[in-house]
């Protein structure tokens, strides 16, 4: 089955049967049925404690979501039986992996269960259904961004990249970095509808953990989805053009008065992307030196952000707690591992445990001097000189993009070294020259 058929793929029979035994129905929403899709969308909003959206606003959002596989659980005995009591949304995306390459991943979002239907195994049925559907479609791994980190590890997910929140005191952040030769322009958000997306996709391959945008994610970032709100009206967009007039980056931000003095505004960076170091420097300097701004904040930034090295006082850039953001769940070990490059040549034997069975087995990963890796099921003993480790599918997900050290997981008792210094060999191979980072929620 191809991922081109992801919206019409059959409902997972195992989860459907499990829920049917409790009087519940698992089904997908027909995205051409506007009324049914609107009820699903409102149920998802309720699950995240969002406000009820006007019908017109829902109708404007639906086209950007129609390509997703929207699944729900219905209770025929509920007072509002036409609305689902649980939701999940999924679609295939391109995930950047080390080596400036992509692998197809199954993005899972909008996971909600109504408080009226908790502790009935609905979340388990939804998540396992998504994994079995992705596996049937031939997608090698699943990904998600999580609001509650303790839920998803039981399904084989693990954090595979981190982000940090920044708070910058502009009075101490004197610029000492390079002077960017290009120009910064204010532009309407609408001008980035197509050109901005092309720039983001061009940059995506430089950072493991980034994903391809779909229309909804992209237009939501620019504030172009649905009716304007107080928040979207505050958005401002600047674009950096190099000395040849070519767009090389942009930033989306708001400026809000936060202190007793009119000079004490906070500039909040919602999104910043740069294709060149000059664009990065030009955009950040523009925001740090803006008049009447005493503080700049930024969310979902890289835990290895270069900005502190561009200002005189390193401590002017305060990093909030680096926290997990992108979680990954390996389904097809050979396809997932062969999709990325490796920083060292060698042979690694991975003895993987997986309670759900998708990634269970012993595999030999062989990487060469070019960075390419090949993976095969290992039936016999490990080759002479190979590094051998035993780990769970969760730990493999944590290692996958290079954000987590195998040595750290050995010290935590999660990975077992079967040969001497096996974790050192794994770290040498899985290392990424750029810190994995995902800059959005999905």
pLDDT at 285: 98
Residue 149 has pLDDT above 90, yes or no: no
Residue 2 has pLDDT above 70, yes or no: no
pLDDT tens digits, 229-275: 888 999 999 999 999 999 999 999 999 998 777 889 999 999 999 99
pLDDT tens digits, 19-56: 999 999 999 999 889 999 999 999 999 999 988 888 77
Looking at every residue in the chain, the average pLDDT score rounds to 95
pLDDT at 294: 95
Percentage with pLDDT > 70 across the chain? 99
Beta-carbon contacts of 414 under 8 Å, excluding residues fewer than 6 positions away, are: 391, 392, 394, 395
pLDDT at 5: 82
Residue 150 has pLDDT above 90, yes or no: no
Q: Which of these, 117, 142, 150, 120, lies nearest to 46 by C-alpha position?
A: 117
Looking at domain 164-323, its CATH class is alpha beta
The residue-averaged pLDDT of 328-335 equals 98
pLDDT at 148: 79
Paired with 297 in beta bridges are: 167, 268
∠ Cα 241 208 245 (to 5°): 10
Write the CATH number of the domain with boundaries 332-430.
3.30.1050.10
**Count H helices, E strands: the chain?**
12, 18
Beta-carbon contacts of 262 under 8 Å, excluding residues fewer than 6 positions away, are: 292
pLDDT at 60: 82
pLDDT at 335: 98
pLDDT band at 1 (very low <50, low <70, confident <90, very high): low
> Is the alpha carbon torsion for 33, 36, 42, 48 positive or negative?
negative
Residue 10 has pLDDT above 90, yes or no: yes
Q: Which residue has the higher pLDDT, 231 or 157?
A: 157
Beta-carbon contacts of 311 under 8 Å, excluding residues fewer than 6 positions away, are: 168, 172, 173, 174, 175, 176, 177, 288, 317
Q: Which of these, 328, 278, 283, lies nearest to 301 by C-alpha position?
A: 283
Residue 6 has pLDDT above 70, yes or no: yes
The residue-averaged pLDDT of 207-213 equals 97
Cα 167 vs. chain centroid, distance in angstroms?
A: 22
pLDDT at 252: 98
Q: Which of the residue ranges 12-16, 108-112, 225-229, 283-287 would you say has the lowest mean pLDDT?
A: 225-229
Q: Which of the residue ranges 59-63, 282-286, 409-413 would you say has the lowest mean pLDDT?
A: 59-63
pTM: 0.95
Residue 88 has pLDDT above 60, yes or no: yes
pLDDT at 309: 98
Listed by start position, the domains of the chain span 3-156, 164-323, 332-430
> Do 3-156 and 164-323 have matching folds?
yes
Does residue 152 sit in helix, strand or coil? helix
CATH superfamily of 3-156: Gcn5-related N-acetyltransferase (GNAT) (3.40.630.30)
pLDDT at 55: 79
């Amino acid at each position: 089955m191809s991922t081109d058929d992801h919206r019409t793929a059959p409902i997972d029979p195992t989860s459907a049967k499990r829920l049917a035994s409790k009087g519940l129905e698992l089904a997908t929403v027909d995205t051409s049925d506007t009324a049914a899709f609107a009820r699903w969308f409102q149920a998802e909003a309720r699950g995240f404690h969002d406000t009820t959206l006007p019908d017109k606003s829902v109708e404007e959002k639906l086209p950007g979501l129609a390509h997703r596989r929207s699944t729900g659980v219905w209770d025929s005995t509920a007072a509002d039986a036409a609305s689902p009591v649980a939701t999940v949304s999924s679609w295939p995306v391109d995930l950047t992996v080390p080596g400036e390459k992509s692998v197809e991943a199954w993005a899972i979002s909008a996971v909600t269960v109504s408080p009226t239907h908790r502790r009935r195994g609905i979340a388990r049925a939804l998540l396992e259904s998504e994994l079995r559907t992705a596996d049937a479609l031939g997608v090698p791994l699943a990904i998600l961004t999580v609001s509650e980190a303790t839920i998803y590890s039981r399904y084989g997910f693990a954090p595979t990249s981190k982000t940090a929140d920044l708070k910058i005191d502009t009075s101490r952040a004197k610029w000492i970095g390079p002077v960017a030769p290009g120009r910064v322009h204010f532009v309407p958000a609408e001008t980035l509808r197509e050109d901005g997306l092309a720039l983001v996709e061009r940059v995506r391959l430089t950072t493991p953990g980034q994903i391809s945008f779909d229309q909804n994610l992209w237009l939501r970032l620019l504030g172009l989805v649905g009716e304007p709100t107080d928040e979207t009206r505050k958005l401002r967009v600047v674009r950096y053009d190099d000395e040849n007039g070519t767009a090389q980056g942009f930033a989306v931000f708001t400026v809000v008065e936060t202190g007793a003095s009119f000079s004490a505004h906070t500039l909040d960076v919602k999104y910043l992307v740069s294709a060149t170091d000059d664009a990065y420097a030009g955009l950040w300097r523009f925001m740090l030196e803006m008049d009447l701004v005493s503080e700049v904040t930024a969310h979902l930034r890289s835990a290895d952000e270069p900005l502190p090295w561009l200002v005189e006082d390193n401590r002017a850039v305060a990093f909030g707690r680096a926290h997990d953001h992108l979680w990954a769940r390996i389904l097809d070990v050979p396809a997932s591992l062969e999709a990325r490059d490796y920083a060292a040549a060698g042979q690694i034997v991975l003895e993987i445990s997986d309670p759900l069975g998708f990634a269970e087995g012993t595999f030999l990963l062989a990487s060469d001097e070019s960075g390419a890796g090949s993976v095969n099921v290992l039936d016999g003993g490990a080759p002479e000189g190979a590094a051998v480790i035993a780990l769970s599918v969760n730990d493999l997900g944590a290692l996958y993009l290079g954000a987590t050290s195998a040595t750290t997981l050995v010290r935590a008792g999660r990975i077992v070294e079967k040969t001497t210094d096996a974790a050192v060999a794994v770290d040498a191979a899985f290392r990424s020259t750029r810190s994995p980072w995902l800059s959005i929620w999905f």
